A and B are shown apart, each in its own frame.
Chain A
Amino acid sequence: MKKVHVDVAVIGGGPAGLAAALAARSEGAEKVLIIERNTELGGILQQCIHHGFGLHRFKEELTGPEYAQRFVNLVKDTDIDVLLETMVLEVTPERKIYAVNSENGMLEITAKAVVLAMGCRERTRGALRIPGGRPAGVYSAGTAQRYVNIDGYLPGKRAVILGSGDIGLIMARRFTLEGAKVEAVVEVLPYAAGLTRNVVQCLEDFDIPLYLQSTVIEIHGTKRVEGVTIAQVDADWNPIPGTERKIECDTLLLSVGLVPENELSSQAGVAIDSITNGPIVDDSMMTSVSGIFACGNVLHVHDLVDNVSKESERAGRYAGRFALGTNNSVPRRVKVQAGNNIRYVVPHEVSSTEPVEFFMRVQRPEDDVVLDVGGLRRIRKASVRPSEMLDVKITPEQLQNLEGDTLIMQIIPQKEA
């Protein structure tokens, strides 16, 4: 078995891993290694051939592969090592990584610091328990995206899309552009789950109907999907009798949420937040296991890749410092808590002496509100949406004024604030 020693091992060569590796190297870590299971770097961005990436970071509208390439080029200009087509099978709490590829066989990689950047997977039909048969023609939206954009095949010609997540909206447009007909997008919530700009550009511009407070209650067909029955739902998401309607189609795409892939993390003993399904981290993005860091969609599902890059640079920087032994955490630990209409906040605690940037999501849409940051800052927001992350920075000076050890983030109506 080949044995390798590195300063920082980054698991995953998507946008999170690329940014983390670059930051770790800049911080002075000498041997940085990216382990990527795919045939190329860039992660899921490689199949996101639509534009709209990088507006914040580069003030440009890039496609997914273009956005990834900017980081790939930067990596190529460094001495960062990259292992492609290499699957990590195990991470131990002592930061030993077992990975396999066809060239080297099994690798035992010992790292001073590990960055988890494995991304997320799509929720499946099984997780939703959609009743009916199990014919061909049911795909998660990302799988269909890969078939079309990477492999060059179109799954079917008449589609219904369950869930209005961003990938589903993007795929509604993609299918239409490929010559297929998208009969409907069906969303159980009273509002679209994806970004507003995607609702406009992918559905409204193509006259694709969006049915809110509705769901698919049955899949028809034995060999191939022949149709689905949709129905309106009540406040508890139960189908309302009498509202059923059958739509003929040969394809059902599911865009019903993403789940961070933390099987490796759990194996390494990393504590997981039951809301985000990602690791619990402090503001250095370190998990509950010393020397193991996390960033990107493995930590929590992001709205924009620009935010992934930003967060991952932080993780990479601290992982680099950890490897060098120059990490400077402070004894004081502040716990961060989600208050009114906040679903989660990342990081979960603060222990450094540097400014901290928090990412959070609300539980439900609200207009004319104030984001209250533990009484330390108050930020007016015209509207907050679950699909769009909120971010806020806090300086160590501001944190000095915190009473107690808990920082509560909450949304307050403007008139009450």
Chain B
Amino acid sequence: MDKAKKSMITAQVVIVGGGIIGTAVARELSRYELDVLLIEAEAEVGWGTTKANSGIVHGGFHEEPGTLKAKYCFSGNQMYPKLCEELDVCFEQNGIMMVARTPHEMETVRLYYKRGKERGVNVQLFSQEEVARQEPNLDPKIVGALFAPEGGAVMPFELAAALMENAIQNGVKYKMNTTVIDAWREGDKKYLETPEQIIRADYVVNAAGLFSDDLARMFGDDYFSIRPRKGEEYIFDLSVKDVVKSTIFPVPGKISKGILVIPTAAGNLMMGPTGDNVEEKEDLGTSQDGFNRVFEGAKRLVPSLDARKIIAQFAGVRAASDRGDFIVELSPNVPGLLHLAGIESPGLTAAPAIAADVPGLLEEAGLQLEEKQSFNPRRAGVVRFNSLSREEQDALVKKNPSFGRIICRCESITEGEIVDAIHRGARTLDGIKFRVRAGAGRCQGGFCQPLITQILSRELDIPVTAVTKAGPGSEQVRYVAKELYDEEVR
């Protein structure tokens, strides 16, 4: 469509990108009397780099002193307990352990210990015996470790969805399936062109993740680039439990934190990620080679891991910048354009702290901030049937019978939870899976997918053939039975 023919909408602040950064910023800005619009290219929020994140809330001892990563990681970590409590999302503060396999590696561990101490991180040094006592399934060759009890785990997708939900509750508007195809500035105003519309904004927050450099370039900012780096992760069955209590890190390599063994907040054990520079920003393929490296790395930490218990794998692409650090700054060339780019690890941990700085940065650029009296930091809690006692489950079903229908048998997820997720914004099978874990279990949706397809069709009032796995183009079933046969006969 011609630019001139497109309708125009306006907003004071437009956030481009609904990943963990965009959603955290949306919630933060919803504290003020502002007209905020978040646009996201995918069908739901949290679907880019966020959904493939390991879910670790880092301790804050890894990062080089003086970097933005160090600053935001530590302060982000400190914000997590309250944030997760307000949003009613799962936060397991199960600690982080960095282990040394040799006395030489132990020297490095001691450096991280010192680094953490200086920063105020709660860190402890463990002897071989202490490691063995706390984590008996680790390789007995491990000589010692650094333990950060305030590290933890969240479900990144759940968090992004919750942040968005709370932001919407507090007045933020949103548009999904909305890609920016062009962007420019005229005077004080910034313009974002989508396939259908033109959006005029006073301020633009660039939280476009992997595509943040593309958006910057559309505005004429050509001073940073995203270097996509892929990570593959492998998930074990829920029955593989109590293998490790904390997330186990090796001594890090030059560019990444290495292959980890991660007890996820969802309860599954996970191993990964790889860290491979890739050409394509959307290269989400997993590989045999990636698996081999992950498994080898993970077995160096936990030798008893059994590959036959793996139920799923996925890959995500980190939006690393060529600067090697986060980019959190107002554009030097375009007034009112704020770049939040290059947010690779520990971006999830850092997200609340980065977001907390955004109102101030925009104020610096001229935005008037007036606190919203009606701001409610709490999201209405989500019912998790399988975490209730039998008596509570009984009472819940008596109140709402749809909680008595188990749809996902592997994870005991009820129809009530699925319908609630749809009412909270889930639009796709993946969206349901990421939000409530229906289909995330050992059968990988084999049994419940057809049922959830029906529920989505019913609740969204769309044909079954329009229900998608992950947005337009990914329809789950394409044809009505016999439709093709009839075509052929005619």
Q: Name A's B-contacting residues (CB within 8 A).
A: 1, 37, 85, 87, 89, 98, 100-106, 108, 121-122, 124-127, 129, 131-136, 139-140, 142-143, 146-148, 150-157, 177-180, 217-218, 222-224, 250, 263, 266
Contacts and interface: CB of A to CB of B under 8 A. Distances in A.
Contact of B478 (A131, A177, A250): A250
B71 to A, nearest CB: 35
A136 B433 CA distance: 14
B111 interface: no
B1 interface: no
B461 interface: no
Contact of A154 (B282, B398, B479): B479
B236 to A, nearest CB: 10
Contacts of A100: 393-394, 397, 404, 406
Given A129-B286, A142-B446, A179 B291 contact: no
B405 A102 contact: yes
B118 interface: no
B394 A143 contact: no
B397 A102 contact: yes
B142 to A, nearest CB: 27
A178 B481 contact: yes
Contact of B476 (A104, A108, A124, A136): A136
Question: Which of B287, B314, B443 is the most central at the interface, judged by chain A CB atoms within 10 Å of its CB?
Answer: B443
Contacts of B403: 102
A147 B488 contact: no
B449 A143 contact: yes
Contact of A131 (B285, B391, B450): B285
Contacts of B469: 135-136
A155 B481 CA distance: 9
A222 B280 CA distance: 12
B393 A223 contact: no
B409 interface: yes
A370 to B, nearest CB: 33
A122 B285 contact: no
Contacts of B406: 37, 87, 89, 100
B475 interface: yes
A131 B444 contact: no
Contact of B394 (A105, A139, A157): A105
29 contacts: A100-B406, A102-B401, A102-B402, A106-B390, A106-B393, A106-B394, A106-B397, A108-B390, A124-B312, A124-B444, A126-B444, A127-B308, A127-B310, A129-B286, A132-B286, A136-B470, A136-B475, A143-B445, A143-B450, A151-B450, A151-B454, A151-B464, A152-B481, A153-B465, A154-B477, A155-B476, A156-B478, A218-B285, A223-B474
Interface residues of B, number: 66
A136 B476 CA distance: 6
A122 B443 contact: yes
Contacts of B450: 143, 146-147, 150-151
Contacts of B465: 153
Nearest to A155: B477
B397 A223 contact: no
A142 B472 CA distance: 25
B449 A129 contact: no
A135 B474 contact: yes
B474 A224 contact: yes
Contacts of B402: 102
A153 B483 CA distance: 9
B481 A131 contact: no
Interface in B374-399: 390-391, 393-395, 397-398
A136 B239 CA distance: 27
Given A37-B409, A126-B310, A178-B485, A132 B443 contact: no
B398 A105 contact: yes
B478 A155 contact: yes
Contact of B479 (A85, A126, A153): A153
A388 B9 CA distance: 67
Contact of B482 (A89, A142, A178, A266): A178
Given A1-B391, A179-B488, A122 B478 contact: no
Contacts of A263: 239, 410, 442
A135 B314 CA distance: 11
B474 A154 contact: no
B412 A89 contact: yes
Contact of B484 (A103, A122, A180, A223): A180
B367 to A, nearest CB: 37
B390 A98 contact: yes
Contacts of B311: 124, 126-127
Contacts of A142: 446
A136 to B, nearest CB: 4
Given A131-B285, A179-B483, A180-B484, A85 B405 contact: yes
Q: 8 closest pairs, A vs B, by CB? A: A179-B484, A102-B404, A179-B485, A223-B473, A102-B401, A106-B394, A126-B312, A136-B469
Given A37-B406, A126-B313, A154-B482, 7 more contacts: A106-B391, A126-B311, A140-B446, A143-B447, A155-B479, A178-B481, A224-B474
B474 A157 contact: no
B447 A121 contact: yes
B198 to A, nearest CB: 26
A159 to B, nearest CB: 11
Contacts of A103: 401, 404
B480 interface: yes
A13 B449 CA distance: 21
Contact of A1 (B390, B401, B487): B390
A217 B289 CA distance: 12
Nearest to B445: A143
A266 B239 contact: yes
Contacts of B259: none
Contacts of B397: 100-102, 105-106
Contacts of B284: 133-134, 222
Contacts of A98: 390
Contact of B442 (A121, A140, A146): A121
B480 A153 contact: yes
Contact of B474 (A106, A129, A136): A136
A134 to B, nearest CB: 6
Interface in B133-179: none
Contacts of A1: 390-391, 394
A131 B409 contact: no
Given A126-B312, A134-B284, A224-B473, A154 B478 contact: yes
B446 A124 contact: yes
Nearest to A150: B450
Contact of A153 (B401, B470, B481): B481
B375 to A, nearest CB: 38
Given A131-B287, A136-B470, A223-B473, A154 B483 contact: yes
